[in-house]
Amino acid sequence: MPAPLPPTQQTHIAHTLAQAGVTCLERGWLSANNIVVRGGDGPSAVVDSGYASHASQTVALIAAALDQQPLDVLLNTHLHSDHCGGNAALQQAYPSLRTLIPPGQAAAVTDWDPVALTFEPTGQFCPQFTHQGLLLPGSSVRLGALSWDIHAAKGHDPHSIILFQPEHRLLLSADALWQNGFGIVFPELEGVSAFDEVADTLALIEELDPAIVIPGHGAVFEDVSAALSRAHSRLHQFVAHPDKHRRHALKVLIKFKLLEWQSVSIHAMHDWMMQTDYFTRAMPSDVRHDRNLSFEWLALLLSELERSMALRREGALIIDR
């Protein structure tokens, strides 16, 4: 894992974010980071709203960051549940709020299709929300005092965008680039090739040459070249061994759900898994149709997570750690 930033880098990052009117609310892994933008005579904005079970905390954190000033615009980099799960709560808290989303799933939001929006296939949930506009790649959007360029960032999600502020060279990278990798490549779990799109997005970030990256998860960072190198290395491993990516993705989905539940019986987790499309897609057909084999299949994934200290077991109870 990357080492903590030295105080001089922390100071430089804080100064640059302050100049741009940006506050990053770094959240735990169940919720994506919330990025608050203020300043000048432009609209106050929040980028991404976290997971639904954290929604009341999200509203309180954003109100504090805004110092009780109104929130004008909510933007979603993409519509995974950990990035848009607080939308409905923010729309209720700020009735005049305009919500902007990437264009690819606008119809699914309008008609509210939780399958197309991947909430049901991942075994997650998101309260229904509305949108009033689109984040069109190739255009820009004013947040606070500054204009931010909108770029398509396929790979992790085929509809995702990232936001770049050229004067300060600030990148809101969502799940396209973290300090130590990138998000699950969800199209690959559906049998759709998308590793090349991950590579294209990493190349785009290299071309933008950001000085500071605010990721969808984890701390803000400056050493972008090192992060890109780690991301390329991870991508090469997944390209060479796609089963490794698939297994990693399934364990991430289990850990995500366990963060929500905190503890659950293995029988309840098995029932959830058998109702969750991404798991049943990944199972061999004989496993999918045999309860004993599917229990064994889940137990192997849980054992790997237990060895990596992501959970612990007490008899039939699975507990987050």
For 188, residues 6+ apart whose C-beta sits below 8 A from its C-beta are 194, 195, 242, 245, 246, 249
Query: Over 80: is that where the pLDDT of 1 sits?
Result: no
Q: Which domains does the chain have, with CATH numbers?
A: 7-240 (3.60.15.10), 244-320 (1.10.10.10)
pLDDT value at position 11? 82
224-240 and 195-208 are packed helices; what angle lies between their axes, rounded to 10 degrees?
Answer: 170
User: Nearest-5° angle of CA 159, CA 160, CA 165?
Assistant: 140
Average the pLDDT over 35-50 and give the result. 94
Rounded distance between C-alpha atoms, residue 263 and residue 265, angstroms = 7
Distances (CA, A) of 112 to 60, 75, 257: 26, 18, 22
pLDDT value at position 175? 98
Rounded distance between C-alpha atoms, residue 54 and residue 63, angstroms = 14
Q: Are 32 and 46 in contact (CB under 8 A)?
A: no
pLDDT value at position 8? 62
**Residue showing tokens 């110092």:** 67
- Indicate the pTM of the whole model: 0.94
Percentage of residues of the chain with pLDDT beyond 90: 94
For 8, residues 6+ apart whose C-beta sits below 8 A from its C-beta are none
Query: Over 90: is that where the pLDDT of 28 sits?
Result: no
Distances (CA, A) of 215 to 62, 140, 164, 262, 301: 18, 19, 12, 25, 28
Average the pLDDT over 217-239 and give the result. 97
Assigned token pair, 52? 């639904």
Percentage of residues of the chain with pLDDT beyond 70: 97
What confidence tens digit (pLDDT) does each residue in 64-110 have?
Answer: 999 989 999 999 999 999 999 999 999 999 999 999 999 999 999 99
Rounded distance between C-alpha atoms, residue 15 and residue 2, angstroms = 22
